[in-house]
């Protein structure tokens, strides 16, 4: 329970056996009384077993669906088990669970709260095409959502019952759909979106890519996904 | 005459293939019927390629054969799009199944863990 609300932490994980135990342990340590669901997105390593040993509930997908598939499963679980709040946290340890109460507080007046880097806290910086993509996404999505959004691809978000209900029935599985398209969809249906600044930490395992070619491809795909999301109903 | 033989035989081989696939239940009827209908148009045309010259003239196409080629490509494109659409629907269905399966497995795991705990407490 956080502020008298039943809270479920959803952690989509793909081959994160190296960091998942620490992430689950930290969440359970910082947030007693909160349930943790690790969605193992078809990992080939021991992610599911390690997460279960760390005390999380585990839903193991039979094959890889992508973050969107793992998240819809998480929201379906939250809906079926009657949670008030569902919070997505990355399995690589870059999100600090101490921000969770802040996100839950803001759900009193909002439907979807996003923990955003670049919003004053932390020291993460991106350059080149990756940065252009982020600027484009935040400019357009801020307009659509009528609120300032600087980190639209953040995987740290809290949803209330109304949004859980919607995401349980509809959550895109395509690349960037889980972040960009869900924001457009949510905003268009009149839900209130709000971001809070959070400091991101270094990933416990794995490294982000820095190839300029990949960054350009990312920009192109982000543009395509955004355009499609805007012309879709 | 040689050409008519080649095209006519090709049409017949295709017809036999489709019927055989349908007979062995390897092809859903909705697709089988589609290809049978296509072959029923194609086989007469392969024997008498000039059949469509009048229609072609009406559309401003010089030769009936060109018209058939054009329509054939358009038709194949439509079939490809249709198949992509079917695959998208299938992927959505298997995705839902995978999620259902994972949810059920999580339920079973939770119940088993609860039962084990009960047993170990009693025992």
Burial B5-37 (b: 16+ CB within 10 A, else e): eebbeebeebbeebeeebeeeebeeebbeebee
Judge whether residue A214 has pLDDT over 90.
Answer: no
Q: How near does any CA of chain B get to the CA of A107, in Å?
A: 26
Burial A164-179 (b: 16+ CB within 10 A, else e): bebbbeebbbebbbbb
Alpha-helical (H) ranges within B1-123 are: 2-23, 29-47, 53-58, 64-122
Nearest Cα to A37, choosing from A12, A62, A4, A64?
A12
> Which of chain A's residues have a Cβ under 8 Å away from the Cβ of B101?
61-62
For the record, the structure tokens of B34 come out as 């589609």
Any domain includes A224: no
Q: What band does A132 get if pLDDT is binned at 50, 70 and 90?
A: confident
Angle at A115 between CA A109 and CA A117, to 5 degrees: 140
Q: How near does any CA of chain A get to the CA of B96, in Å?
A: 9
> Which of chain B's residues have a Cβ under 8 Å away from the Cβ of A173?
95
Nearest Cα to A88, choosing from A169, A146, A181, A167?
A167
Judge whether residue A206 has pLDDT over 50.
Answer: no
Parent domain of A155: 7-126+149-208
Q: How far are the Cα atoms of A9, A194, B113 from residue A53, in angstroms, in the given order?
A: 17, 35, 12
As for the ipTM of the complex, it is 0.82
CA quadruple A16, A19, A22, A26: dihedral, nearest 10? -80
Any domain includes A197: yes
| Window A:132-161, CB contacts with B under 8 Å | none
DSSP 8-class letter at B50? G
Any domain includes A157: yes
Judge whether residue A204 has pLDDT over 70.
Answer: no
For β-strands A112-116 and A157-159, DSSP reports them as: antiparallel
Strands of the A112-116 sheet, one edge to the other: A57-60, A35-40, A7-13, A85-88, A157-159, A112-116, A193-197
Q: Do A59 and B95 touch (CB under 8 A)?
A: no
Number of domains, chain A = 1
- Mean pLDDT, to the nearest integer, of A22-29? 95
pLDDT the model gives residue B123: 61
Tell me which residue in B102, B109, B110 faces A61 most closely, judged by beta carbons: B102
Digit-coded pLDDT (tens) for A162-185: 999 999 999 998 888 888 999 999
pLDDT the model gives residue A209: 59
Helix (H) or strand (E) holding A13: strand A7-13
Which of A36, A61, A64 should one mutate to test binding to chain B, selecting the residue with the greatest count of B CBs within 10 A?
A61
Question: Phi and psi (nearest 5°) for A88?
Answer: -90, 135
pLDDT the model gives residue A232: 82
Any domain includes A135: no
Nearest Cα to A84, choosing from A55, A102, A101, A104?
A104
Digit-coded pLDDT (tens) for A83-126: 999 999 999 888 999 999 999 999 999 999 999 976 555 445 66
Alpha-helical (H) ranges within chain A are: 20-30, 47-53, 67-80, 100-106, 128-145, 161-169, 182-188, 212-231
CA atoms within 13 A on the CB side of A9: 34
Digit-coded pLDDT (tens) for A39-91: 999 999 999 999 999 999 999 999 999 999 999 999 999 999 999 999 999 99
Q: Return the biggest CA–CA distance within chain B.
A: 91
Q: Do B106 and A58 touch (CB under 8 A)?
A: yes
Any domain includes A66: yes
CB of A203 within 8 Å of any CB in chain B? no
State the pTM of this model: 0.84
**3-state SS record for A53-116:** HCCCEEEECCCCCCHHHHHHHHHHHHHHCCCCEEEECCCCCCCCHHHHHHHHHHCCCCCEEEEE
CATH number of the domain residue A157 falls in: 3.90.550.10
CB of B98 within 8 Å of any CB in chain A? yes
> Which of chain A's residues have a Cβ under 8 Å away from the Cβ of B105?
59-60
Any domain includes A83: yes
Any domain includes A96: yes
Q: How near does any CA of chain B get to the CA of A190, in Å?
A: 26
Any domain includes A214: no
**Average pLDDT for consecutive 10-residue bins of chain B (123 residues)?**
83 89 86 87 82 83 84 93 95 95 93 88 72
Q: Do B98 and A72 touch (CB under 8 A)?
A: no
Q: How near does any CA of chain B get to the CA of A62, in Å?
A: 6
Is the sign of the CA dihedral A7, A183, A19, A204 positive or negative? Answer: negative
């Amino acid at each position: 329970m956080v502020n008298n609300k039943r809270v479920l932490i959803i952690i989509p994980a793909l081959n994160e056996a190296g960091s998942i135990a620490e992430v689950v342990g930290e969440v359970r340590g910082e947030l007693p009384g909160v349930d943790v669901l690790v969605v193992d997105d078809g990992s080939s390593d021991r992610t599911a077993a390690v997460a279960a040993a760390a005390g999380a509930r585990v839903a193991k997908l039979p094959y890889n669906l992508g973050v969107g598939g793992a998240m819809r499963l998480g929201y379906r679980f939250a809906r079926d088990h009657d949670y008030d709040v569902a919070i997505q946290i990355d399995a690589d340890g870059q999100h600090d669970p101490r921000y969770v109460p802040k996100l839950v507080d803001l759900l009193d007046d909002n439907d979807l709260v996003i923990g955003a880097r670049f919003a004053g806290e932390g020291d993460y910086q991106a350059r080149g095409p990756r940065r252009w993509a982020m600027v484009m996404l935040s400019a357009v999505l801020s307009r659509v959502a009528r609120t300032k959004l600087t980190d639209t691809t953040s995987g740290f978000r809290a949803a209330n019952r109304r949004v859980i209900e919607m995401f349980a029935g509809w959550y895109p599985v395509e690349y960037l759909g889980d972040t960009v398209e869900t924001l457009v969809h949510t905003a268009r249906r009149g839900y209130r979106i709000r971001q809070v600044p959070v400091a991101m930490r270094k990933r416990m395992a794995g490294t982000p890519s820095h190839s300029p070619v990949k960054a350009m491809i990312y920009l192109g795909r982000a543009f395509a996904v955004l355009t499609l999301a805007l012309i879709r109903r | 005459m040689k050409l008519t033989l080649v095209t006519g035989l090709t049409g017949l081989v295709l017809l036999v293939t489709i019927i055989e696939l349908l007979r062995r239940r390897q092809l859903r009827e909705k697709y089988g019927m589609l290809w049978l209908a296509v072959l029923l148009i194609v086989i007469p045309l392969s024997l008498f390629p000039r059949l469509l010259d009048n229609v072609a003239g009406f559309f401003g196409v010089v030769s009936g054969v060109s018209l058939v080629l054009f329509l054939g490509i358009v038709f194949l494109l439509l079939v490809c799009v249709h198949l992509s659409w079917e695959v998208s629907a299938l992927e959505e269905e298997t995705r839902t199944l995978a999620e259902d399966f994972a949810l059920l497995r999580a339920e079973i795991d939770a119940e088993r863990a609860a039962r084990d705990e009960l047993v170990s407490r009693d025992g």
